[in-house]
Amino acid sequence: MLNELSQVVSALERVGIVTASRHPRINPMGKNRELLVVRLDDEGEPSDVAFIPGEKATTLFRIEHGSAGSSFPGFNLPAPLLNLANMPAGELKTALEQLCALWKKRNSPTGQILDIVKTLAKSSQPRRFTLAQCKQFERSVVDLVQELQPIFAQLPPELTNLTRLSHIVTQAKLVLPQFSQNVADALVFTAATADRETLLLVQEALFGVLDWKQRGVDFASTSYWTDKAKQDENANQPVYLDLAVPAQHHKPVAHPKTSEAMNAVLVRAADESDAALQTDVTALDAFTGKPTHLQDKFPAPKIAELGNLKLFSVNTNEVQCLLRYGLEGSQQFPASADSVQRMSDALLYLAHEKKKGITCQPIPSAQPNKRDLLIAYLEEAPDFGEAVADLFGGEAQNFSDADFAARTQPVLEALEGRLKTNPSLKVRLLALCSMDKGRKQISLHRQFLVQDVVRATQAWKAGASNAPSISIWFYDRKTKTTVWKSHFVPHPLDVSSVLNRVWSSDPKADFRSSFQRAITASDAYDVFFADGFLWKNKTRMCLALLLNRMASVLVRLGAVKTSGDCASLSDSVRWQCAKSVSLLGIFLNQLGQSKDTFMRDTIYQVGRLLALADSLHFYYCKWVRTPEDKRKQNKVEAPSELLGNSVFNHALDNPTGALARLAERIKPYKAWADTFDGEEAKLVHWIMRQMGESERLCNLEALSQRMTDTDKATLLLGYLADHPKKEIETKQTKTAN
């Protein structure tokens, strides 16, 4: 793992994100929500506060110490600052309902909102902080500031305001409860002159997020306050300290120029410290080649999805061969404290919970019921703010989510812009998996040119359209509307998530699935990029697996599309079918099979002929077998296997034999259709004409004696393809209650 992380560190160091981490270092505040600047007077009391947008906050930096988790002059203050739960229930309910009603009206006077905020603040109690929160605050404004004093003493005159701020904070010996209350008072005072937008920020900092946008919220219920307490438990407000009266000839502490100067001073101090430590060393760092003291203990940074991750761990008692060669303790993996700390910082920067979708993303694991963590970043620009990780690891969890094309359009446009100035731009992918509670390791390490990413994405989108229109029904319970999905563009990792599931019939339900690994994330990316030596073989393997594992489900989908009883298949089954249909188009496209060609092939017409036979059989059952009273209720007495559906599995192996069976069994239905003149006679006769057309397009002599996987895929697509709109409009889908 450390070898791969050392390459990550190199990329981050090139843009100055990761520096020598044994020493205090500069890191950006990050694009949080609005940053609260707290200006202190000479006694260390908050005398004034102001909010600045999150975009501007990214230009400000804070001094951090990774081992302690502290930072200065910016840090996270636990929020909300005040506790409303102890107010009389009736009074609180009335005030919050009035407040929410005012927020819902865009033109409501801010003065009325302010009056209620002041009333709530006056009636509330100060928040009670845990011992851990108090200690964390102390580490930032006491311990770290004291540790930085030797460095602050050498700061140049341009950083006078920072020097003075550190002196004031040191003398004030701030404590969290009093500081929090003072900030709350300053916020209430500031609210008197605030505009509507700032007033909402003040309200959220004081009381937390209130569900004023939702309808029917019961502010008096115990459950509401229980849920809110859980929501507020780990909430925080980003804070940045500054002086109430800064020196006029120098920049304020909360200014980008001050941050740049801070960074230069700390880097210089770290270099001087490293030079002093290079005397009396014991070994060489395996990563830098510099003489150093080796690290005996490795940090365990907490990252998204996987939790704490030990960078290097080995039980010597279980690996006796290491002792045999004198590799004991730190000699097993010679690395300096700086190297391993930089690796820890790199993980914290790229794989933090807040970076989900941007530089990290949970992805399906090769192990059942587990998730791995994908890390994706541009090597020349690891601070790139677009959703690179989501491009490679995103998923559409249900039919209402955006597909791959819509989801990745913004990041693709940004990448194409970068390529104009740097055609050799590269993206690196790392995946971390959890073997058990104690062991985590690298499961994927790949590097790609960004221009190949753009090319592959465009080809992937085109491949998803390489199939006939196959509309799959869904019912949106929120909007109570019917949704038809067709030409959905799956994500690259849908290759593995779809193909690693085996489906079987369940007598009590429609289908059930179980996990059985066949495809890894690396295989999925090979198929996605369609480049290299193995991708064609892997695409053929994926096509074979998809047919093997999803054919029975897709055949069932074809049957319910004809009967209109789509709700008999669960949402998850139909969603897997939507992905599978698109993957069939993609795989065929990569293997050189274009829909403009295969939709005219005999095998496609065989599939269409079987689907039309299903339709004919269904209308026969509707008008011959079903009593009139049931027809009025939109019910049809039809078998679960219609005519074409009953011979489809035989057609997958022997289409000629399946057509012979169909010709024998269709005679009574054809005879009925020829003389039918009832309500839907035009539709029935249209079906017969379409069957005749498909039959004329079938060249039975061209049918292969041995069905290939591409033949089977083409047959399936022909069977599932939509009939013209005029037929679909006559069908009524049974919606779920």
Lowest mean pLDDT among 47-51, 212-216, 358-362: 212-216
Q: How many CB atoms lie within 10 A of CB 197?
A: 10
Q: How far apart are CA 373 and CA 309, in angstroms?
A: 12
Residue 341, H or E segment? helix 337-350
DSSP symbol at 368: T
Q: How many CB atoms lie within 10 A of CB 621?
A: 18
Is residue 729's pLDDT more than 70?
no
For residue 75, what are its two tokens? 């840090």
Phi, psi of 349 (to 5 degrees): -75, -45
pLDDT at 466: 93
Residue 450 confidence class, pLDDT cut points 50, 70, 90? very high
pLDDT-above-70 percentage for the chain: 88
Handedness of CA 159, 162, 163, 164 (dihedral sign): positive
Task: Name the amino acid, one letter, at 597.
Answer: T
Query: Which residues, other chains included, contact 394 with Cβ-Cβ below 8 Å and sequence gap of 6+?
Result: 357, 361, 387, 404, 407, 408, 491
Is residue 725's pLDDT more than 50?
no
Looking at per-residue pLDDT, the higher value among 5 and 501 belongs to 501
pLDDT at 305: 85
Report CA-CA distances (Å) from 229 to 82, 124, 224, 235.
12, 15, 9, 10
Q: Are 618 and 642 in contact (CB under 8 A)?
A: yes
Is residue 432's pLDDT more than 70?
yes
Q: Are 389 and 444 in contact (CB under 8 A)?
A: no
For residue 367, what are its two tokens? 């192990």
pLDDT at 724: 67
The model's pLDDT over 276-326, given as tens digits with 9 standing for 90+, comes to 555 445 677 777 777 777 776 777 788 888 888 877 765 555 566 666 666
Q: How big is the CA angle at 725 (ends 722 and 729), to the nearest 5 degrees?
A: 110
pLDDT at 313: 61
The model's pLDDT over 335-346, given as tens digits with 9 standing for 90+, comes to 787 788 788 888
Q: How far apart are CA 549 and CA 311, in angstroms?
A: 39
Q: How far apart are CA 405 and CA 410, in angstroms?
A: 10
Residue 487's nearest CA partner among 565, 570, 406, 546 is: 406
Residue 328 confidence class, pLDDT cut points 50, 70, 90? low
Is residue 712's pLDDT more than 70?
yes
Q: How far apart are CA 415 and CA 431, in angstroms?
A: 22
Supply the Cα-derived Rg of the chain in whole angstroms: 33
DSSP symbol at 212: T
Query: Which residues, other chains included, contact 555 with Cβ-Cβ below 8 Å and sequence gap of 6+?
Result: 645, 648, 649, 716, 719
The model's pLDDT over 397-411, given as tens digits with 9 standing for 90+, comes to 888 888 899 999 999
Residue 463 confidence class, pLDDT cut points 50, 70, 90? very high
pLDDT at 733: 43
Q: How many CB atoms lie within 10 A of CB 13?
A: 15
Residue 56 confidence class, pLDDT cut points 50, 70, 90? confident
Buried b (16+ CB within 10 A) or exposed e, 701-731: eebeeebebbbbbbbbbbbbbbbeeebeeeb
Residue 390's nearest CA partner among 377, 381, 380, 399 is: 377
Q: How far apart are CA 33 and CA 48, in angstroms?
A: 20
Taking phi over 0 as left and psi of -120 to 50 as alpha, with beta for the rest, 237 belongs to: beta
For residue 198, what are its two tokens? 């700032």
The model's pLDDT over 494-540, given as tens digits with 9 standing for 90+, comes to 999 899 999 887 655 578 888 898 999 999 999 999 987 788 999 99
pLDDT-above-90 percentage for the chain: 35
Q: Count helices and strands (H / E) in the chain.
A: 29, 21
**Most confident range, picked from 145-154, 439-448, 668-677:** 668-677
The stretch 684-702 carries a mean pLDDT of: 87
The model's pLDDT over 538-553, given as tens digits with 9 standing for 90+, comes to 999 999 999 999 999 9
Residue 173's nearest CA partner among 45, 17, 39 is: 45
Average pLDDT of the chain to the nearest whole number? 84
Q: Are 87 and 124 in contact (CB under 8 A)?
A: yes
**Tally of CA atoms within 13 A in the half-sphere of 643 that contains its CB:** 26
- Paired sense of beta strands 472-476 and 440-449, if any: unpaired
User: How many angstroms from the chain centroid is the CA of residue 574?
Assistant: 22
**Most confident range, picked from 4-13, 139-148, 221-230, 547-556:** 547-556
Residue 215 confidence class, pLDDT cut points 50, 70, 90? low
Query: Which residues, other chains included, contact 106 with Cβ-Cβ below 8 Å and sequence gap of 6+?
Result: none
For residue 400, what are its two tokens? 């209402």
Query: Which residues, other chains included, contact 378 with Cβ-Cβ below 8 Å and sequence gap of 6+?
Result: 384, 388, 418, 425, 426, 427, 450
Lowest mean pLDDT among 70-74, 319-323, 574-578, 723-727: 723-727
The DSSP result for 1-66, as a single string, is -HHHHHHHHHHHHHTTSS--TTS-EEEE--S-S-EEEEEE-TTS-EEEEEEE-HHHHTT-EEEEET
Phi, psi of 532 (to 5 degrees): 100, -165
Query: Residue with structure tokens 């302690």?
Result: 68
Query: Residue with structure tokens 């498909």?
Result: 694
pLDDT at 279: 47
Q: How far apart are CA 162 and CA 487, in angstroms?
A: 58
pLDDT at 439: 75
Residue 728 confidence class, pLDDT cut points 50, 70, 90? very low
Q: How many CB atoms lie within 10 A of CB 284?
A: 14
**Most confident range, picked from 213-217, 224-228, 311-315, 450-454:** 450-454
Task: Name the amino acid, one letter, at 603.
Answer: I
Residue 183's nearest CA partner among 37, 322, 303, 62 is: 37
Query: Residue with structure tokens 């597909």?
Result: 403
Looking at per-residue pLDDT, the higher value among 423 and 292 belongs to 423
Q: What is the pTM of this model?
A: 0.66
For residue 226, what are its two tokens? 């229980």
For residue 317, what are its two tokens? 């008692």
